[in-house]
């Protein structure tokens, strides 16, 4: 952890300059209301490998972080939309994972604890009932009421929210009911994974990482993550695999961390479609199972576009020896909290966001990090800003259209 | 610390009820914008012994607590006065203690870090210069500019603040320049120590403590502190001393913690005029030095009114063995942070707020408490509410008039 501590000291020493740099970007771009960043830390690198604009997992935050989260949310909403008292949270109504619903329940509780009146609503016309009660993993339930549009306003069972908070990335479609309504929708509905592209995100991320590194005088390689787009890929076609393999070989030769690479679908989320490879040959000789994985994105579309991303081996270990990676939660560009994703079935060189994953509270399970190091906060800040520029690009290109 | 942990668990278990109880009070009373509470912890009691509505000592808070402080302040100001961007901080311009100025500097930095434009101003007509530069103990300086009234608005060197933040208890007088101005003044100027009375504060405190204890089903004695007022006392008069001694004897007989009592001036602050006694005889036989102390309040007025307060022996020790007492910092009714007051020249049964005192960051110096226990947060919350009722009473009685 010497590397993290040293780099964090350098970053902390440049706090005022980083603040000015951040402020200059915030003049130019709207960052998402909230986000989470998966961070991998190796012996010489700490970089974001995934940024979620509709974070789930709030239930994995410690009571202290939940408290801070609520405070940051209220502060952000009060500044932007003074007088806001009523919030409508829109979760992924079709999610079946009770942990996801525990997350929604936690978000609801965090908001209520800060004095907001909160209802959880769904906007799916195919559900005919007026309310649905869903079991959460903690033993409780979440009441979700049907939200409907009345002219330019959305309401749910007579509850007219001041602000709508999305916890649903609408992977498949862009619900018209939430478009052009009078109430602010946070984050904007146009920016679900249906319109996000990893190559776009990481191009902004790496560009901002270079700027931030220059500001605080650290090696930009420390916080960058090489990410290459390859289009029109069908892994069942050997010539497509060869195109991908050539890029992988090229990256394996230049990536200082060694030959670890991750192949991901350029869209999609939830840790699917992520395959670790050690170079081009692993792609040339990809078996049927892995080929299938590459099109097993959330929406089951053939991937088409893929990215190859520099792999970062995680050096963090839980007390029991499981590999761990921190997930940082942000409200705008401020760190609200963190937890660890661990995985008893995976090695430090693999994607932990897969079968066998568990969540542990920060800082309890990893002795090395007692506080969130400045270097990690900076990475998550860069990711939030990058997501802001990414949203802007999506919006300029027409959003859901 | 078993007592604190057990009671804190009980308090935590009643969090929702305490929240509702607090909310009901917040409907009825305005709490001060910020405050600090000195808390003494014995083997069976944790109680506030002093509540400051114009807290100094922000420089003793850790970086994490400063961060939280800034967030709480911005959140509170954004909700109450949306759009506030400019703050004028009014410190005690005549303070000579460079640690006090380090406190002002810290407050300035905390506010700037949250995006506020900040100026520090003075309102004393006797200072003819337009600006004063004061050295802070950390090596820097604080620039204090003259604030003047232009009609119903106050401004400082062309800077027109949206909100005025007082860090000055105006012990001696009530500056008319700050009265009835258009900008909100936080906390209200009417509530300096010139109009505060300890007996009033602790009557509200104990009454609220009984309510809170009933809500979370703990023994009210745990968080109460017996406080008795005796009026028209001149310690040079033996019959006045006898009146005080009789009350002390009565209290020494009923106070379960033993015969430790503190005699304090009913007004005044800054730890002066606090004498520890073990019963009536100590007052009957009070020597000239202690008699003098009793009139050595900040304003050097003869004390007139005094309180005798149940003494709470502190059981907290720094790693080096010095007695320590936590000081909690509040924004409205939320804990922003804490530090320890320690004193190498005093015993656990004495007032630590006196010559020899030092400040240490929480939780570093006392191993027993890693987080701020719920019981202490509850005490500080009660003190903030009590200060709110106290302010209301002062205002109803005419404030500065």
Task: Compute CA distances B3 → A352, A387, B7, B318, whole Å.
Answer: 42, 48, 6, 19
pLDDT of residue B55: 93
> Which residues on B lie below 8 Å from A72 (Cβ)?
71
The CATH architecture annotation of domain A62-186 reads 3-Layer(aba) Sandwich (3.40)
For residue B19, the chain A residues in CB contact (below 8 A) are: 113
Q: Does A68 touch chain B (CB under 8 A)?
A: yes
What are the start and end residues of each CATH 3.30.1490.20 domain in chain B?
A: 226-310
* H helical segments located in A94-218: 98-113, 198-216
- At A255 the pLDDT is 67
Rounded CA separation A285/B26 (Å): 68
Interior angle at CA A288, CA A287 and CA A292, nearest 5 = 120
- Alpha-carbon separation of residue B381 from A196, B212, B344, B356, B378 (angstroms): 45, 10, 29, 29, 5
Smallest CA–CA separation between A78 and chain B, in Å? Answer: 6
Cα atoms in the 13 Å half-sphere on the side-chain side of B273: 26
Which residues in chain A have their CB less than 8 angstroms from residue B71's CB?
A: 68, 71-72, 75, 334
Of the residues A23, A26, A66, A79, the best mutation for testing chain B's interface (the one with the most B CB atoms within 10 Å of its CB) is: A79
The answer to whether A336 touches A65, Cβ cutoff 8 Å, is: yes
CA pair distance A142, A202, nearest whole angstrom: 35
- Any chain B CB within 8 A of the CB of A19? yes
Which of these, A194, A196, A394, A176, lies nearest to A301 by C-alpha position? Answer: A194
The CA radius of gyration of chain B, in Å to the nearest whole number, is 21
- Can you say whether the dihedral through the CA atoms of B344, B346, B351, B356 is positive or negative? negative
Rounded CA-CA distance A392/B255 in Å is 67
Tell me the chain A residues in contact with residue B110 when contact means C-beta distances shorter than 8 Å: none
Q: What is the mean pLDDT of each run of 10 residues along chain A (401 residues)?
A: 89 94 95 96 93 93 94 95 96 91 97 96 88 94 94 94 90 76 88 78 98 97 95 88 92 74 75 73 85 61 78 89 94 96 88 86 78 94 96 80 54
Taking CB atoms and an 8 Å cutoff, what residues of chain B touch A80? Answer: none
A74 and B71: CB-CB below 8 Å? no
Determine, for residues A74 and B79 on separate chains, whether the beta-carbon distance falls below 8 Å. yes
Q: Report the chain A residue with the minimal C-alpha distance to residue B84.
A: A79
* Residues 294-353 of chain B whose Cβ lies under 8 A from any Cβ of chain A: 334
Find which of A9, A70, A78 to mutate to test the B interface (most B CBs within 10 Å of its CB): A78
Å from B195 to nearest chain A CA?
A: 33
Q: Write down the pLDDT at residue B298.
A: 47
Q: Look at B78 and A79 and tell me if their CB atoms are within 8 Å.
A: yes
A370 touches chain B (CB under 8 A): no
CB contacts, 8 Å: B79 with chain A = 74, 78, 82
Q: Check A64 against B371: CB less than 8 A apart.
A: yes
Residue from B300, B246, B303 nearest B275 by CA: B303
Angle between helices B198-216 and B2-13 (to 10 degrees): 70
Q: Give the pLDDT confidence score for residue A270 in this predicted structure.
A: 43
Least CB–CB distance from B75: residue in A23, A74, A83: A74
C-alpha span between B201 and B387 (Å, rounded): 6
Rounded to the nearest angstrom, the minimum Cα separation between A132 and chain B is 26
Question: What does the pLDDT profile of chain B (401 residues) look like in tens digits?
Answer: 688 999 999 999 999 999 999 999 999 999 999 999 999 999 999 999 999 999 999 999 999 999 999 999 999 999 999 999 999 999 999 888 999 999 999 999 999 999 999 999 998 888 889 999 999 999 999 999 999 998 899 999 999 999 999 998 776 667 778 888 999 999 887 776 567 889 999 999 999 999 999 999 999 999 999 999 999 888 888 999 999 999 999 998 876 655 789 988 887 654 446 788 888 888 898 888 878 777 655 445 555 888 999 999 899 998 888 999 999 999 999 999 999 999 988 888 888 888 888 898 888 778 777 789 999 999 999 999 999 999 899 888 876 65
Q: How many CB pairs under 8 A join A and B?
A: 32
CA distance B237 to chain A (A): 54
| Domain B226-310 architecture | 2-Layer Sandwich (3.30)
Q: Which fold has domain B62-191?
A: Rossmann fold (3.40.50)
Give the pLDDT confidence score for residue A298 in this predicted structure: 47
Beta strands B117-122; B86-91: pairing state: parallel
**Distance (Å, rounded) from C-alpha A372 to C-alpha B189?**
40
Interface with chain B: mutation pick from A75, A82, A84, A337, highest number of B CBs within 10 Å:
A75
Dihedral sign (CA B92, B98, B100, B102): positive
Residues of chain B with CATH 3.40.50.11280: 62-191
The answer to whether residues B41 and B313 touch, using CB atoms and an 8 Å cutoff, is no
User: Would the ipTM clear 0.85, i.e. be above it?
Assistant: no
Minimum distance, in Å, between the CA of residue B205 and any CA atom of chain A: 24
Neighbours of A129 (CB within 10 A): 10
Tell me, yes or no, if B68 comes closer than 8 A to chain A by beta carbon. Answer: yes
B297 secondary structure, DSSP code? S
- Chain A residues with beta carbon closer than 8 angstroms to that of B115: 23
Cβ pair B376, B328 in contact under 8 A:
yes
């Amino acid at each position: 952890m010497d590397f993290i501590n040293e780099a964090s000291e350098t970053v902390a020493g440049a706090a005022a300059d980083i603040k000015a740099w951040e402020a200059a970007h915030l003049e130019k771009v709207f960052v998402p209301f909230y986000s989470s960043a998966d961070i991998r830390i190796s012996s010489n690198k700490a970089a974001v490998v995934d940024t979620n604009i509709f974070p789930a997992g709030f239930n994995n935050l410690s009571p202290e972080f939940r408290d801070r989260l609520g405070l940051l949310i209220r502060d952000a909403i009060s500044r932007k939309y003074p007088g806001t008292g009523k919030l409508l949270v829109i979760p992924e109504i079709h999610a079946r994972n009770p942990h996801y619903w525990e997350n929604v329940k936690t978000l609801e509780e965090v908001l209520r604890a800060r004095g907001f009146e909160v209802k959880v609503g769904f906007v799916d016309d195919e559900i005919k009932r007026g309310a649905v009660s869903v079991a959460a993993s903690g033993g409780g339930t979440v009441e979700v009421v049907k939200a409907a549009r009345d002219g330019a306003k959305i309401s749910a069972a007579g509850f007219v929210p001041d602000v709508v908070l999305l916890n649903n990335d609408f992977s498949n479609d862009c619900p018209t009911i939430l478009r052009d309504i009078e109430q602010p929708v946070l984050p904007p509905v146009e920016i679900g994974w249906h319109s996000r592209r990893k190559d776009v995100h990481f191009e902004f991320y790496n560009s901002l990482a270079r700027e931030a590194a220059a500001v605080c005088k650290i090696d930009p390689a420390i916080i960058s993550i090489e990410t290459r787009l390859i289009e029109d890929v069908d892994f069942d076609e050997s010539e497509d695999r060869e195109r991908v393999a050539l890029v992988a070989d090229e990256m394996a030769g230049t990536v200082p961390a060694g030959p670890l690479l991750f192949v991901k679908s350029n869209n999609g989320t939830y840790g699917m479609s992520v395959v670790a490879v050690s170079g081009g040959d692993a792609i040339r000789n990809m078996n049927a199972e892995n080929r299938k994985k590459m099109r097993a994105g959330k929406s089951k579309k053939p991937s088409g576009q893929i990215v190859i991303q520099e792999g970062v081996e995680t050096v963090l270990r839980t007390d029991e020896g499981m590999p761990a990676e921190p997930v940082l939660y942000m409200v705008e560009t401020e760190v609200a909290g963190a937890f660890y994703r661990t995985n008893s079935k995976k090695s430090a060189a693999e994607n932990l966001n897969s079968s066998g994953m568990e969540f542990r509270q920060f800082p309890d399970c990893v002795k090395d990090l007692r506080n969130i190091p400045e270097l990690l906060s900076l990475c998550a800040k860069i990711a939030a800003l990058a997501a802001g520029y990414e949203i802007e690009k999506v919006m300029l290109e027409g959003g859901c259209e």
